[in-house]
């Protein structure tokens, strides 16, 4: 019997990339590849790159170079770049980084096995010439679904039914019915992301994502539901809905309020204990969506709102909408329905034309917003964006100074917000149990970005359990919580129920 081909996937960037990696893993395993965790044990190391900002692009290049260093020292014979950076730069990346044996775009995903085999055999698959993927679908959202079959949409599944081999490995299945890609989970986490849509129709002046991710297109509700059911069968307890803009979900399916009806259905899936929605646009928030997010059992009252700034002049230059007072009114509306709702956001400082008064306005918003988590980034030009052409750029020293100042303020504010939660009861999804303790996350904490909860006790607790606890302390943005009496032993949270 021939030796089985081995492949390792290294994923950088956001949760959307994680979903794409699991699609690639599913396709490869279904075609006979053996998945391994360590690149040094793989014939081919596939690096799923991020192309969003300079720091992420540098991390992607470093990961490719690190994988390349394994060649000649272990099993690794080829290194291949996929993902956003590969899609965005194509031939340019291949020429600038000869250490990569292949640079594959989204159009290559459906044939990923053949592409890797060609490269492994010493052949060459020419890197693509990048194109504006916004032009691949009709301008009118209502006309996009009919054209979607002709466009590669990672995470959406092929247009034709997937005929799965009869001898699929255990744990590998069509994740979302007949239109779904094969998906293979790459870790044992009780949390998994589910792609709700792809692309973005917004034209923020600082963002290049729509050009290489394309126009906004929703997945069908049945696909999202079937994938969630499959994930629940794999032991997943929390799903996080991801896309470039979840508030637009359904607009190309004829119902902009489709998310409001889908969320209760997802929450009713057997085995799912929590549904979380990420990536919400403040300008597109609507009363009905707020109501569903704050009142539906098992749907986390969690608001990942993309504010970016609060000074009106800066927001207009960003091609965005809103101001400090309107944003605070939105938060007041949310908290009037769910006082303990979790809210996080990201902000850009040092944007071209930003004044000291604009920074003060941002400080006013941050101080009044009581956010649970804050990400702060210093502005830098992204090629191909409108903002890169602006004349009123700030000196790098000023951007660095403002970044440090707002970051310090943000750290103080999120620590204060964590302290506000002392004495509250929280539902903690346990994610790790080891010699360092029992750690998990409450409803207001998304994976990777928003801190975690340390349980003061947890004998017999296993990963995937949902535990009721009382917050008794803080460590910066993190919480320390004591399990409530009986919460570990009650029928609702038994060892069997946690499986």
Say if residue 200 carries a ligand binding annotation: yes
Pick from 344, 324, 308: nearest CA to 417: 344
Query: Which helix (DSSP H) or strand (DSSP E) does residue 87 occupy?
Result: helix 83-89
Pick from 499, 486, 328: nearest CA to 430: 499
Say if residue 309 carries a ligand binding annotation: no
Say if residue 84 carries a ligand binding annotation: yes
Say if residue 288 carries a ligand binding annotation: no
Q: What is the DSSP string of 146-181?
A: HHGGGS--TTT--SSPP---TTPPTT-EEEEEETPP
Say if residue 385 carries a ligand binding annotation: no
Say if residue 338 carries a ligand binding annotation: no
Contact criterion met (CB below 8 Å) for 89 and 38: no
User: Torsions phi, psi of 184, nearest 5?
Assistant: -120, 125
* Six token digits for residue 242: 């991801």
Alpha helices for 338-379 (secondary structure H): 356-369
Contact criterion met (CB below 8 Å) for 379 and 343: no
466 vs 298: CA distance, rounded Å: 12
Q: Which residues pair with 144 in a beta bridge?
A: none
Residues 6+ apart with CB under 8 A from 288: 257, 260
Q: Which residues pair with 302 in a beta bridge?
A: 342
Residues 6+ apart with CB under 8 A from 298: 267, 272, 273, 274, 275
- Known binding residues are 14, 50, 84, 200, 204, 207
- Known binding residues for [4Fe-4S] cluster are 14, 50, 84, 200, 204, 207
């Amino acid at each position: 019997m021939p030796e089985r081909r081995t492949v390792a996937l290294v994923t950088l960037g956001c949760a959307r990339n994680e979903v794409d990696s699991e699609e690639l893993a599913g396709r490869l395993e279904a075609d006979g590849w053996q998945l391994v965790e360590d690149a040094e044990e793989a014939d081919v190391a596939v690096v799923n790159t991020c192309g969003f900002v300079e720091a992420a692009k540098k991390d992607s290049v470093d990961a490719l170079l690190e994988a390349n260093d394994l060649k000649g020292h272990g099993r690794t014979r080829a290194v291949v770049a996929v993902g956003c950076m590969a899609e965005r730069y194509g031939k340019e990346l291949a020429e600038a980084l000869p250490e990569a044996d292949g640079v594959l775009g989204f159009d290559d995903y459906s044939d990923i096995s053949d592409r890797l085999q060609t490269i492994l055999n010493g052949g060459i698959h020419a890197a693509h010439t990048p194109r504006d993927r916004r032009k691949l679908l009709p301008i009118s959202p209502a006309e996009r679904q009919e054209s979607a079959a002709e466009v590669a949409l990672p995470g959406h599944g092929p247009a034709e039914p997937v005929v799965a081999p009869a001898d699929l490995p255990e744990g590998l299945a069509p994740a979302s019915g007949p239109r779904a890609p094969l998906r293979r989970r790459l870790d044992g986490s009780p949390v998994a992301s589910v792609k709700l849509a792809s692309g973005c129709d917004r034209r923020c002046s600082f963002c290049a994502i729509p050009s290489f991710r394309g126009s906004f297109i929703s997945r069908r509700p049945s696909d999202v539901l079937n994938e969630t059911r499959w994930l629940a069968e794999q032991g997943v307890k929390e799903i996080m809905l991801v896309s470039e803009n979840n508030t637009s979900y359904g607009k190309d399916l004829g119902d902009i309020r489709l998310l409001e009806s889908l969320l209760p259905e997802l929450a009713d899936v057997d085995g799912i204990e929590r549904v979380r929605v990420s990536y919400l646009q403040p300008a597109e928030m609507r009363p009905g969506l707020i109501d569903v997010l704050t009142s539906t059992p098992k749907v986390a009252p969690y608001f990942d709102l993309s504010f970016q700034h609060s000074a009106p002049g800066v927001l207009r230059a960003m091609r965005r909408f809103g101001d400090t007072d309107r944003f605070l009114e939105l938060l007041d509306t949310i908290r009037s329905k769910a006082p303990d709702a979790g809210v996080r956001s990201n902000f850009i400082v040092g944007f071209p034309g930003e004044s000291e008064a604009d920074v003060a306005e941002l400080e006013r918003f941050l101080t009044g917003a009581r956010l649970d988590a804050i990400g702060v980034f210093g502005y830098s030009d992204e090629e191909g964006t409108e903002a890169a052409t602006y004349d009123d750029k700030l000196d790098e020293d000023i951007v660095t100074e403002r970044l440090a100042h707002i970051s310090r303020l943000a750290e103080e504010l999120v620590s204060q917000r964590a302290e506000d939660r002392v004495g509250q009861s929280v539902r903690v999804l346990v994610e790790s149990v080891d010699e360092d303790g029992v750690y998990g996350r409450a409803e207001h904490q998304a994976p990777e970005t928003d801190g975690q909860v340390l349980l003061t006790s947890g004998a017999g607790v296993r990963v995937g359990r949902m535990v009721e606890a009382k917050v008794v302390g803080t460590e910066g943005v993190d919480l320390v919580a004591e399990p409530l009496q009986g919460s570990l032993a009650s029928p609702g949270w038994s060892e069997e129920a946690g499986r």
